[in-house]
Amino acid sequence: MLILNKKDLEELLTMKEVIEALEKGFREVKEGRSVVPVRFRLEIKEWEGEFLFMPAYLSGLKQGGTKMVSVFPKNPSIGKPTIYATYLLNDPSSGELLALLEGATLTGLRTGGASGLATRYLAREDAKTLGVIGTGYQAFFQVRAIQAVRSIEEVWAYDIDPERLKEFCKKVSPFAKTHPASNPSEVVRQSDILITSTTSSHPVFSGRDLKPGTHLNAIGAFRPNMRETDDETILRSKIIVDTFEGCLREAGDLLIPMAEGKLRRESIYGDLGDLVTGKKRGRESREEITLFKSVGFAMEDVVVAHYAYEKAIREGRGQRIEMMEVKQ
């Protein structure tokens, strides 16, 4: 079995490689060569935490595996991270465990990559200014993914934590001119492409501030009671989801206005697989506002994990261990 840690993944994979792997995966799903259940949650009430299990099998690509994630919000009070994640990559023909991958970096790469893929189909070709609301762990992956598909010259950013915003701008500054903003509206009004990457339970900006032609990647809210976008944004946008099944079960950005009768399921334009396979067109005019809503999808993990594993084998990266003796 091969072990790939954070450093291995960061050095092995470029965002362009991640995006290409994801495009193949979305095609496999859309053309019916996959089994990808909605993630399973196991609540740990006494510790106010939960375990998430995300299995996936792609028959056409012969890839299979499971991501395991734990979310324990009280962990920082005892000096531990809120989230732990690990990926188990298997050989689907035998069940053999091929690799164990550090899951937080894998998640950052594939979530960023999915936004990059959506942006390639939905953002204006001449988009130059990127806005970011919420500058936590995922935000840097998002920036690098967008830069893989568009020539970004400036990044405007806002976070409720000034120190976190400062660190983010410092990290991004080698790649683009950065502007720390004093409020979300300032970011939105400047943006050709906008990313929301927060865990907010209420909208983080006003849809009235969106310029015509803006593309938005809303990637933070992943529960039915969470939302980053307001009704104005939803009603002004052509909406594309990562998957209908996941978003109609978990995306508060859509479920809340649907429950209030402000959005119909039929008003959601399509999913990312529709764009990848050419069943539906992406951006159709310079003026339209497009919104990519994602809650995460286990297919994304397995295709990126498998690509990392194969590249690591070719380049001699990672650490090999034997879990059990194999008798001939």
Active-site position among 30, 67, 238, 293: 67
Give the model confidence (pLDDT) of 158-198 as tens digits: 999 999 999 999 999 999 999 999 999 999 999 999 999 99
The counts of H helices and E strands in the chain are 11, 16
pLDDT of 73 reads: 82
- Helix (H) / strand (E) element for 154: namely strand 154-158
Tell me if residue 67 is catalytic.
yes
Give the model confidence (pLDDT) of 142-151 as tens digits: 999 999 999 9
Going along the chain from its start, the domains and CATH numbers come out as 2-106+299-320 (3.30.1780.10), 121-296 (3.40.50.720)
Distance CA 61, CA 49 (A): 34
pTM (two decimals): 0.94
Distance CA 70, CA 68 (A): 7
In the chain, the percentage of residues whose pLDDT exceeds 70 is: 99
Whether 274 shows a pLDDT value over 60: the answer reads yes
